[in-house]
Structure 1
Amino acid sequence: MTQIKHERSTQDLVRAAVSGWIGVLPTYAQIGIFAPVLLVTLRIIQGLGAGAEISGAGTMLAEYAPKGKRGIISSLVAMGTNCGTLSATAIWAVMFFALEREQLIAWGWRIPFLASVVVMIFAIWLRMNLKESPVFEKVSEGEKSPALTPASENTLGAMFTSKSFWLATGLRFGQAGNSGLIQTFLAGYLVQTLLFNKSIPTDALMISSVIGFITIPLLGWLSDKYGRRLPYIILNISAIILAWPMLSIVVDKTYSPGVIMAALIVIHNFAVLGLFALENITMAEIFGSRNRFTRMAISKEAGGLVAVGFGPVLAGIFCNMTDSWLPILIMLVLYSCIGLISALLMPEVRDRDLSLPEDAAEATAAEKLRHSATQTS
């Protein structure tokens, strides 16, 4: 079941408080080891809150959007994330230009965190003035009888035995794994190991994010026209096919910076941004109204945490062991294969009735059983 707006406002309030606390954290000289421990802890809380908010925003837009336009409307969530990434990059670029290195290290880094509190206050006001979605209101009226919502369906055990949950986690794992490899590890690997000019990966990812303002809504529109499965399948197959030629160009200094950047932009849009455009609407439709927000948030957090948390670390270990970039290629192909398999196994969920309580895979299986029983009788 989706969460009410006041619960989401609480999430915004927590994130605002965390951002403010980061901005006023004592230094290592003042409290010793507790300074980095607190910083890491607060950043983890901030990240979890942001992930939950993305799920909440995706759910809200999907439940408000009319059939036939859910994909392109829900892609606004990915557009917002993309815009946030670009804005953060631009803010840091201005600060690097405006402040001396010593000033930036001493106090300048705190400014974006403190300034973000203002944005969070606006977000809380916006959230408090939003009406619940039509789907939420429809389902709430239908659930006045407790018998219609079995308690057993709301347990962690039920979630972990749900095929839909694991399919959604697989989709997220594939996209997040590629994101961690390309946006985090590969960018650092090019600069620190291969000694590229740091402007090459940085500028390439910035340009790619700008192009994402076309890629993301385009994929949302295509998913409205051709379904959610087909774009997922095509993007993952494309990422698998393009991985070798694009990465072999990216790591080769004999190519001009423009060619290297172009190759990085291509693989980033196919393997990361395109998949992210499909993620929120697909997950909103694959889960039933009974547990949509909870299962969507957990599948996104679990898949993302494992893939992004451990992927770059493993890539670094394997690249150091082999003294080669091939582990990056292998991991990108594996992540894309996981996303592809999940897409092949999931039912088509485009324009599914969002007020249905069951998850899509379970509802499809039950329908097949009923159809089989009808034919037998």
Structure 2
Amino acid sequence: MSANISAAGPVTPPGIIAPNADRKRVAFATMVGTAVEWYDYFIYAAAAGLVFGQLFFEPAGSGFGSILSFLTVGVSFLFRPLGAFLAGHFGDKVGRRPVLVTTLILMGLATALIGLLPTYASIGVWAPVLLVLLRILQGLSAGGEWGGAVLMAVEHAPSTRRGLFGAMPQIGVPIGLLLASAMMATMDMIFPGDAFLTWGWRIPFLFSIVLILVGSWVRRRVEESPVFTEIAERKEQARTPVVDLFARFTPLVLLSALVFAGNGAVGYMTTGGYIQGYATNPAGPLALDRGDVLWAVTASSVSWLIATFAAGWASDYLGRRTTYMIGWGLQGVFVLTLFPLVNTGDVRLLGAGLMLITLGLGFTYGAQAAWYTELFPASVRFSGVSISYALGSILGGAFAPTIAQWIQQTTGSSANVAYYLLGMTMIGLVSTLLLRDRKGIDLSPTNEAEQQVGIYAWKK
């Protein structure tokens, strides 16, 4: 019988988790916190596609105003690496839990303040300036959020169930999209027409205050990561974890970033607000009802959640890299069917196109938490995971809606947008092939030497 399996089921190697740790509570806390954090982030993206062009960038005109609005979605990504550097530094030095609570509060306050902002009609150019500043704060928070959440989940998990436990913060992202889209759709029903532009869009932002209180309470109740606890007890925290990371693992950071970029570019067609804006634009070819499109996005977030959870579970049996390869195949096929379905003008087929694309998105996202955690050595793990994710979000998701909008307006063809997404999918696939699967590797700081070898597919 192996060291990781007993007659009672999977157990964790010594030194990874305290015997009395409540793994389920930790997994639940990371899911709730991530859902709250990304609700805030996606509410902004939805509003960027639906109202910000009109309310904050109206002098630029409807076409260019939409591009500027989507640019503000992307601008925050430029500050994610800074958030990741700061969170990685403190997460590797003082612990995972305090960083998670701090990022959650920062994100929520920025979101609530956006809901109180005056529009361009009220204060002129200060309106978009303040909007961008608050979006930057969201970017700083998001840059540090994901790495801490996945490490708390995966480092607490049994070695044979890391994919499953790591899927919990991952499904928090589609839950955040579900909440954001459902909230926006509900406000569209309660405040139809101009009332939505006046007050309806603000309420989901202000609701973030409630979510901050819930998420913060849940996160404060979990224990510190056992891996960091062991590092602290051994007094082996890196003095400059970010410097150490790039000195030894720059190729790993770049490849890991490109893996996520292939997923992010496609995912941000909805989470970045592009499909919502494309389908509901009154001057566009479809001009679909705003509420119907938001409910379709809400439905697709459910299928994304299911696919993400299934991928995390499957990766414990198939391996992380094999699970990704399945995802890239699904994603490559369905990016080519997305716009033909959307362009029918039938909201049911639009919803079907979005749900199909989430199958690929889920299988290139569900295993990410476990794989990233297993790729980086313990002493620089928070920095490596966070910075790779942040860089990948810039290369993939940051300006994907802006690029898609520019391609559509320049060429007049949504097919060219699909080719762009297919190209990003291929980049993710190739990057996946260049990394090794390290499923089940000992994550303890006592195993740091083994964690630094066997990373790249081209090295033995």
Bucket of the pairwise TM-score, normalised by the shorter protein: 0.7 to 0.9
Equivalent residue number for residue 162 of structure 1: 250
1:164 touches 1:359 (CA, 8 Å); kept in 2? no
Selected match of 1:264 from 339, 354, 370? 354
Give TM-score, length-normalised by structure 2: 0.70
Equivalent residue number for residue 342 of structure 1: 431
2:270 touches 2:297 (CA, 8 Å); kept in 1? no
Deviation at 1:15, TM superposition (A): 2.2
Note closer, same or farther for the CA distance 1:33–1:323 as it changes in structure 2 (3 Å cut): closer
Separation in structure 2 between the aligned mates of residue 359 and residue 200 of structure 1, nearest angstrom: 54
Equivalent residue number for residue 185 of structure 1: 274
Note closer, same or farther for the CA distance 1:178–1:258 as it changes in structure 2 (3 Å cut): same
The AA in structure 2 aligned to 1:75 is: A
Separation in structure 2 between the aligned mates of residue 46 and residue 310 of structure 1, nearest angstrom: 16
The AA in structure 2 aligned to 1:189 is: Y
Equivalent residue number for residue 376 of structure 2: 287
Separation in structure 1 between the aligned mates of residue 293 and residue 368 of structure 2, nearest angstrom: 25
Gaps of 5+ in 2: 1-91
The AA in structure 2 aligned to 1:197 is: L
Which stretch shifts more, 194-203 or 339-348? 194-203
Separation in structure 2 between the aligned mates of residue 52 and residue 62 of structure 1, nearest angstrom: 16
Separation in structure 1 between the aligned mates of residue 349 and residue 108 of structure 2, nearest angstrom: 41
Q: Work out whether 1:130 is the aligned partner of 2:219.
A: no
Q: Work out whether 1:307 is the aligned partner of 2:396.
A: yes
Deviation at 1:341, TM superposition (A): 0.9
Deviation at 1:344, TM superposition (A): 0.5
2:164 touches 2:309 (CA, 8 Å); kept in 1? yes
1:219 touches 1:274 (CA, 8 Å); kept in 2? yes
Note closer, same or farther for the CA distance 1:269–1:360 as it changes in structure 2 (3 Å cut): farther
2:105 touches 2:212 (CA, 8 Å); kept in 1? yes
Separation in structure 1 between the aligned mates of residue 263 and residue 156 of structure 2, nearest angstrom: 25
User: In the TM superposition, what whole-angstrom CA distance separates every residue of 1:11-33 from its partner, at most 9, and x where no partner exists?
Assistant: 22322332332233345455432
The AA in structure 2 aligned to 1:220 is: G
Deviation at 1:340, TM superposition (A): 0.5
- SS of the aligned residue for 2:437 comes to coil
The AA in structure 1 aligned to 2:338 is: L
Equivalent residue number for residue 352 of structure 1: 441
Deviation at 1:113, TM superposition (A): 2.4
Separation in structure 2 between the aligned mates of residue 304 and residue 276 of structure 1, nearest angstrom: 13
Separation in structure 2 between the aligned mates of residue 265 and residue 287 of structure 1, nearest angstrom: 33
Gaps of 5+ in 1: 372-377
Equivalent residue number for residue 322 of structure 1: 411
2:150 touches 2:369 (CA, 8 Å); kept in 1? yes
Deviation at 1:221, TM superposition (A): 0.8
Deviation at 1:362, TM superposition (A): 4.4
Deviation at 1:49, TM superposition (A): 0.9
2:308 touches 2:366 (CA, 8 Å); kept in 1? yes
- SS of the aligned residue for 1:24 comes to coil
Deviation at 1:7, TM superposition (A): 3.0
2:163 touches 2:370 (CA, 8 Å); kept in 1? yes
The AA in structure 2 aligned to 1:165 is: V
Give 1:231-242 correspondences, 5 Å limit.
231-242=323-334
1:346 touches 1:361 (CA, 8 Å); kept in 2? no
Selected match of 1:194 from 282, 285, 294? 285
**Bigger relative contact order (CA 8 A; separation at least 6):** 1
- SS of the aligned residue for 1:363 comes to coil
RMSD, aligned α-carbons: 3.1
1:286 touches 1:359 (CA, 8 Å); kept in 2? no
User: In the TM superposition, what whole-angstrom CA distance separates every residue of 1:262-285 from its partner, at most 9, and x where no partner exists?
Assistant: 233212321x23322122222122
Deviation at 1:365, TM superposition (A): 6.0
The AA in structure 1 aligned to 2:401 is: P
Note closer, same or farther for the CA distance 1:114–1:334 as it changes in structure 2 (3 Å cut): same
The structure where helix makes up a greater share of residues is 1
The AA in structure 1 aligned to 2:260 is: R
1:286 touches 1:360 (CA, 8 Å); kept in 2? no
Deviation at 1:324, TM superposition (A): 1.7
The AA in structure 2 aligned to 1:287 is: F
The AA in structure 1 aligned to 2:263 is: Q
User: In the TM superposition, what whole-angstrom CA distance separates every residue of 1:239-266 from its partner, at most 9, and x where no partner exists?
Assistant: 223433x236325539x65445323321
Separation in structure 2 between the aligned mates of residue 158 and residue 266 of structure 1, nearest angstrom: 38
Equivalent residue number for residue 305 of structure 2: 213
Equivalent residue number for residue 375 of structure 1: none
1:194 touches 1:251 (CA, 8 Å); kept in 2? no
Q: Work out whether 1:173 is the aligned partner of 2:264.
A: no
- The number of residues matched between the two structures is 363
Separation in structure 2 between the aligned mates of residue 236 and residue 180 of structure 1, nearest angstrom: 16
User: In the TM superposition, what whole-angstrom CA distance separates every residue of 1:105-127 from its partner, at most 9, and x where no partner exists?
Assistant: 33443332232122212322333
Equivalent residue number for residue 94 of structure 1: 186
Note closer, same or farther for the CA distance 1:360–1:108 as it changes in structure 2 (3 Å cut): farther
Separation in structure 1 between the aligned mates of residue 357 and residue 114 of structure 2, nearest angstrom: 34
User: In the TM superposition, what whole-angstrom CA distance separates every residue of 1:306-349 from its partner, at most 9, and x where no partner exists?
Assistant: 32222222222223333222212211111111111111111112
Give TM-score, length-normalised by structure 1: 0.84
Which stretch shifts more, 102-111 or 283-292? 102-111
Selected match of 1:67 from 139, 156, 159? 159
Deviation at 1:42, TM superposition (A): 0.5
1:159 touches 1:295 (CA, 8 Å); kept in 2? no
Note closer, same or farther for the CA distance 1:13–1:261 as it changes in structure 2 (3 Å cut): closer
Note closer, same or farther for the CA distance 1:176–1:159 as it changes in structure 2 (3 Å cut): farther
Deviation at 1:131, TM superposition (A): 1.5
Equivalent residue number for residue 203 of structure 2: 111
Separation in structure 1 between the aligned mates of residue 191 and residue 330 of structure 2, nearest angstrom: 43
Deviation at 1:93, TM superposition (A): 2.0
2:191 touches 2:199 (CA, 8 Å); kept in 1? no
Equivalent residue number for residue 23 of structure 1: 115
Note closer, same or farther for the CA distance 1:107–1:200 as it changes in structure 2 (3 Å cut): closer
